[in-house]
Amino acid sequence: MSDESGFQRFKGTEGYIASPPLIDAVNCAIALERPLLIKGEPGTGKTLLALHVAEGLGMPMESWYIKSTSKAAEGLYLYDTIQRLNDARFGEGDVQDIRRYIKYGPLGRVFAAEKRHVLLIDEVDKADVEFPNDLLRELDEMRFTVMETREEVAAKERPLVIITSNNEKELPDAFLRRCVFHFIDFPEPDLMREIVDVHHKNLDATLLDQVLIKFYWLRGQRELRKKPSTSELIDWISALLRSGMSAQQVEAHLPFVGTLLKNEQDTEALGQFDESDSQMPTSWSDLGPRYQQ
C-alpha cells in the first residue's frame, strides 16, 4: 500500500510484532477517530499493543485498568470526600477549596491534557453491563462538568482509545457500532518466531525449533484446560536459557512444565503421556499437515 494519503500512521515498533491486519486496524481507528476494540486469547499482546502504539506514534499514554466495580464516571473524576472530612477533622489545608479534592481519573486527565493521548481501557468486559454504554456517552461527548465546582473540561483533541476485552461478557451493539474491531489470532509459527526474537535475541535455531514444536504440539492437545500463551512461551524459553538446557534436552521431554501449564489436571495429563511411552514430536512433520515447514 502506498502511503501518499498519510493513512499508515502506525507501522509497528521494534518491540512489538504486529500482523498486517492488526496494523491496518490501528490505522483505521486513527483515521476514523474511533475507539479500537481488541480481543484475543489471554497473552496475545492486547495490553502491550497500546503501549507500542503510543511509542510508535510518539504520543503520551494513560491506562485505565477496569475492575468489576469500575464505573464510567470514575474515569472522569472522583470527589474525595473522605480526604476532605479528614482534613476538616485534623485542621489541615483549606477545606473550603473543593478543587483540591477533585481527582481526575484517566479519562478526565486525557480530556484535560494539552497533548493528544493514547488511552488504554484495559479489560472492559470486567465491569458491569452498563459500563460500556456509559463509557460511550463520555467518549462521544468528549467533555464533562465537575458538578461540585461547575468547572467544564472539554478535550482539545480526541484521544486514540484502545479498548481490550477477554470476551467475558458480550458488549452492546451500540458500543460495537462505534468501534473498529480486531481479533488478534493466535500467532502462527512464523510470526511467533519474530515475537520470540523480540524477547530472546539470536536464540539458537535448533533450540527454537524444538521449543516451538513442543509448544504448538501442547496447544493442539484437545484435553488441555488452559492452552499456554505467547507470554508463557517467552517465560519457558527464559527458564530454559537460564538453566542452560540444550535443544537435545528439550527434544526428549518438557522441562519446567510449570511455566506452560497452570493447572494440575493438565500437568497430570502430560505426566501420563510421559509414562505411556508415547513419542513426543521432535520435528514439524510430526505435528501433521498444518505445520509442514
Q: Which residues bind ligand ATP (CB under 6 A)?
A: 16-17, 40, 42-48, 164, 166, 195, 198-199, 230-231, 234
CB of 194 to ligand ATP, least distance (A): 8
**Is the Cβ–Cβ distance between 242 and 257 less than 8 Å?**
no
Count of positions on this chain that bind Mg ion (CB under 5 A)? 2
Among 8, 13, 19, 47, binds Mg ion (CB under 5 A): 47
- The minimum distance between CB 150 and ligand ATP, in angstroms, equals 39
Q: Could you give the dihedral angle defined by the CA atoms of residues 255, 45, 119 and 24, in that order, rounded to the nearest 10 degrees?
A: 170
Count Cα atoms within 13 angstroms, Cβ side, for 278. Answer: 10
Which residue number, 210 or 230, has a Cβ lying nearer to ligand ATP?
Answer: 230
Choose one: 18-26, 47-55, 127-135, 267-275; the region binding Mg ion (CB under 5 A): 47-55
How far is C-alpha 261 from the geometric centre of its chain's CA atoms?
A: 21
HEC-encoded secondary structure of 47-79: HHHHHHHHHHHCCCEEEEECCCCCCHHHHHEEE
83 binds Mg ion per the rule CB under 5 A: no
| Closer of 196 and 287 to ligand ATP (Cβ) | 196
Residue 42 binds which entry of Mg ion, ligand ATP, none, with Cβ cut-offs from 5 to 8 Å by kind?
Answer: ligand ATP
| Distance in Å, CB of 42 to ligand ATP, minimum | 3
The listed partner (ligand ATP, Mg ion, none) that binds 241, CB under 5 to 8 Å by sort, is none
Cα–Cα distance measured from residue 111 to residue 62, given in angstroms and rounded to the nearest whole number: 11
DSSP 146-212: ETTTTEEEE-SS--EEEEEE-SSSPPPHHHHHTSEEEEEPPPPHHHHHHHHHHHSTT--HHHHHHHH
Considering beta carbons, is residue 17 or 110 the nearer one to ligand ATP? 17
